[in-house]
Amino acid sequence: MLGLVLEGGGARGAYEIGACKALKELGIKIDGVVGTSIGAINGAMIVQGDLEKAYELWYELNPSKVLDVNDRVFNKVINKNIKTKDIPRLALKIRNIFKDKGFDTSRIRQLLEENIDEEKIRKSDMDFGIVTVSVTDKKPLELYKEDIPEGKIKDYIMASAYHPAFKPEKVDGKIFLDGAFHDNLPLKLLYDKGYRNFVVIRLYSIGRVRKVKDKDLEITYIEPSEKLCNTLDFTNDSARLNLKLGYYDTLKVFKNLKGRKYYLEPKNDEEFFLNFLLDTGEENILKIGKLLGIGDMPYRRMLLEFIVPRIIELLALDDNIGYEELVIALIEEIAQICDIERFKIYDFDSFHSLAMSSYNEHKEKPKNKIPKFVKRNEILSLAAKESIIEEVIFEMFR
């Protein structure tokens, strides 16, 4: 049996739905789903067979669909673009939140009412579980769908997502708190049902993560290739970006794609990429060595013993990285400079060709000259790494 574990993380939850879309397209069959907070909400829609509906909800999301806020003002707050004329409205909203002892949850409840179908969840062949914390009883609750009273699944899903900033409300006469305070990544729920094979989608949000110590587990982690948005950033731009990230990061895992910010089919040919680096040519390699403050020596030795390690350091790459990953990382720098479309699967040859044709159209020698003593000093050079890498790229790919 294959279990899907969804972490809590508020607005970051769009990443999970993007990932689940990719899992479905890859034909990966899920037998059970567990989640905390937004993971519980996403999980419910997956179990009831409404993944496409969940994707559409996130794709069309804006803050006012979740919280009692003005979209325009909320966007300014998130983007730290508050103007003097916005302050009175914002101050009034903050006063009302304190007066009500928290954010109003009526819009979240309305979303659950409109989109969670208890009958479908109970009839589904898939296992489903959530985590919440009973403040009244001072204990955590790890609940499977069969443990939840009839007619109460929406209430307990809401209980799993009770952020401390929300206005306190009761379910069955009790007050609950976000399940992240007990277990924000509830793999144990499926483990206790006999699952040993998991797909775990990480959001890296604040919350406790309890580990299962069984060494025989098979876990495939899907992790963001970049830091996700603030957990309260329910803006449309962030939701759509997270959907794409989740989708392509999942394809990267299951298709073994290369790249840090881009997505490339692997060549798996280290000799090809070593020769690619050597093809930079003796003259240009010596120029790069001079740029980096490296003394005279044979160019091959300079490239492999000094330039390559320095590039790895400047790009914050793993020390054990192969030549393929290194070359791709360098070309990714060009792709970012040229603003090449990121969310697409490339083969290396087309990616390299596109990057070079784009770079040749507008490249010019970097204007900001870095003093030699900065380039020679490892700590100082890291502070100026973007400018140094740009100079290296100019010489390597001219």
**Minimum mean pLDDT among 51-55, 146-150, 357-361: which range?**
357-361
CATH superfamily of 2-255: Cytosolic phospholipase A2 catalytic domain (3.40.1090.10)
Q: What share of the chain is helix, strand, coil (3-state, %, to 5)?
A: 50, 15, 35
Closest CA to 247 of 76, 22, 72: 22
Place 362 in a pLDDT band, splitting at 50, 70 and 90.
low
**Minimum mean pLDDT among 87-91, 134-138, 152-156: which range?**
87-91
Closest CA to 148 of 177, 187, 121: 121
Q: Are strands 2-6 and 32-36 parallel, antiparallel or unpaired?
A: parallel
Which tokens belong to 174? 């009790």
Spatial contact of 200 and 185, defined as CB atoms under 8 Å apart: yes
236-264 tens-digit pLDDT:
999 999 999 999 999 999 999 999 999 99
Q: Is 195 helix (H, G, I), strand (E, B) or coil?
A: coil
Spatial contact of 210 and 29, defined as CB atoms under 8 Å apart: no
DSSP 305: I
Nearest-angstrom CA–CA distance, 296 and 24? 55
312-323 tens-digit pLDDT:
988 889 989 999
Closest CA to 177 of 187, 188, 166: 166
Q: What is the pLDDT of residue 81?
A: 53
Place 379 in a pLDDT band, splitting at 50, 70 and 90.
very low
Active site residues: 37, 178
DSSP 307: I
Q: What is the pLDDT of residue 120?
A: 97
**Minimum mean pLDDT among 101-110, 156-165, 343-352: which range?**
101-110
User: Does residue 216 have a pLDDT over 70?
Assistant: yes
Spatial contact of 337 and 317, defined as CB atoms under 8 Å apart: no
Mean pLDDT computed over 338-351: 95
User: Does residue 19 have a pLDDT over 70?
Assistant: yes
User: Percent of the chain at pLDDT above 70?
Assistant: 84
Nearest-angstrom CA–CA distance, 292 and 396? 13
Place 364 in a pLDDT band, splitting at 50, 70 and 90.
low
User: Does residue 377 have a pLDDT over 60?
Assistant: no
Domain boundaries along the sequence of the chain: 2-255, 263-397
Spatial contact of 153 and 145, defined as CB atoms under 8 Å apart: yes
Place 73 in a pLDDT band, splitting at 50, 70 and 90.
low
76-113 tens-digit pLDDT:
556 655 555 554 554 444 444 444 445 678 889 999 99
